[in-house]
Structure 1
């Protein structure tokens, strides 16, 4: 299988054809951090934000965003359950394509995630991330959200766990993500302990 190299912290990562193909499939219409989360949940190797941005540029892929929206600053209002803002950039009368979907529309990705349209012309974001950030605050860089019970359609805030990419790597390797919420939450705690142990070993 053909591979290409990317770097992170001076350690080479060779991109597999499967990784590149999946990146091409999910990039359009998503922010870099959303792409990072999907890649890290799909593959055992844990990418970082610089790798994702570099690969997108290297393979000449398009997210569909200009960059000024990349931080995910979305206006919230109660009429749309706090997840989307007013539609100030809608098409003029007679210009909407036949397949146009209004702000607030939802769709399910091929991987089972719910996306919600947050603004025109075609800005979609992962709904579980919006819910988490509305309730808990901004998700740190290189962090992912795990569904505690394994059900990607259960968007209850209590089912969403924020973990670092290192925690997620350990959870995937040791199969700590279960279909039982309590077991997964315990697994996240265990993974965090193992991360700290590994960090201390490196400092010795």
Structure 2
């Protein structure tokens, strides 16, 4: 029987903070990325309905009744001439483009670092999570299927001793069994437990297939 995910207060608050103006698909993607889960859109939709959360959009557009403040208004000729000076030409970059090296705390709760200035590319091309950059600088590229966790739960403690690489499967087990603690040593013990549980599960699965 598939285990039903029990949403924590932190997870519900994340939905409240991120639901507005984005599709269910995007909200589900952000949620799973932030909490390293694999929940379905139906599961997220059920929580939205349960807590009365609305994105404000339907079918990719704002709900009926949402009227832009400037609807029907034309820009005066003199205002247009002034605005032309600040309009961007195709391919140009605004003067306030964040320089490489800029650090920002984004909605996922992590610190991101600007690493490039490419145009028309996904965010992850120009921005990288700081803790992943720090880990890779010391240990090399992070293999696919692995994540970097903060052992003390503090997403701004970038000491190498506070970072640990685990598989997404192990991370899921730790979340489900509440093995993440605010103490490094206790979380390390949780990692060992998760690895043991994953190894046991994978061996049994392999035997069943064999």
TM bucket, shorter chain: 0.5 to 0.7
Q: How far does residue 150 in structure 1 lie from its aligned partner after superposition?
A: 0.5
- Over 6 Å off, 4+ runs: none
Using CA pairs below 8 Å that are at least 6 residues apart, which structure has the higher relative contact order? 1
Does residue 173 in structure 1 map to residue 176 in structure 2? Answer: yes
* Separation in structure 2 between the aligned mates of residue 161 and residue 191 of structure 1, nearest angstrom: 13
| Rg (Cα) greater in structure | 2
Q: Spell out the pairing of 1:32-111 with structure 2 (5 A cutoff).
A: 39-42=32-35, 44-45=37-38, 96-111=93-108
Q: Spell out the pairing of 1:74-153 with structure 2 (5 A cutoff).
A: 96-121=93-118, 123-153=126-156
Higher strand share: 1
Q: Contact between 1:144 and 1:162, CA under 8 Å: does it hold in 2?
A: yes
* Separation in structure 2 between the aligned mates of residue 151 and residue 19 of structure 1, nearest angstrom: 29
Query: What value does the CA root-mean-square deviation take over the aligned residues?
Result: 2.5
127-136 or 95-104, larger mean C-alpha shift: 95-104
- Structure 1 residues 18 and 182: alpha-carbon distance in aligned structure 2, compared to 1, 3 A threshold: farther
* Separation in structure 1 between the aligned mates of residue 184 and residue 141 of structure 2, nearest angstrom: 23
Q: Contact between 2:102 and 2:114, CA under 8 Å: does it hold in 1?
A: yes
* Separation in structure 2 between the aligned mates of residue 186 and residue 46 of structure 1, nearest angstrom: 26
Q: How far does residue 143 in structure 1 lie from its aligned partner after superposition?
A: 0.7
Q: How far does residue 116 in structure 1 lie from its aligned partner after superposition?
A: 0.6
* Separation in structure 2 between the aligned mates of residue 135 and residue 149 of structure 1, nearest angstrom: 20
* Separation in structure 2 between the aligned mates of residue 168 and residue 46 of structure 1, nearest angstrom: 14
**TM-score of the aligned structures, taking structure 2 as reference length:** 0.55
Q: Contact between 1:44 and 1:173, CA under 8 Å: does it hold in 2?
A: no
Q: How far does residue 42 in structure 1 lie from its aligned partner after superposition?
A: 2.1
Q: How far does residue 99 in structure 1 lie from its aligned partner after superposition?
A: 2.4
**TM-score of the aligned structures, taking structure 1 as reference length:** 0.56
Structure 1 stretches lacking a partner, 5+ long: 1-16, 27-37, 48-94
Q: Contact between 1:146 and 1:162, CA under 8 Å: does it hold in 2?
A: yes
* Separation in structure 1 between the aligned mates of residue 145 and residue 202 of structure 2, nearest angstrom: 17
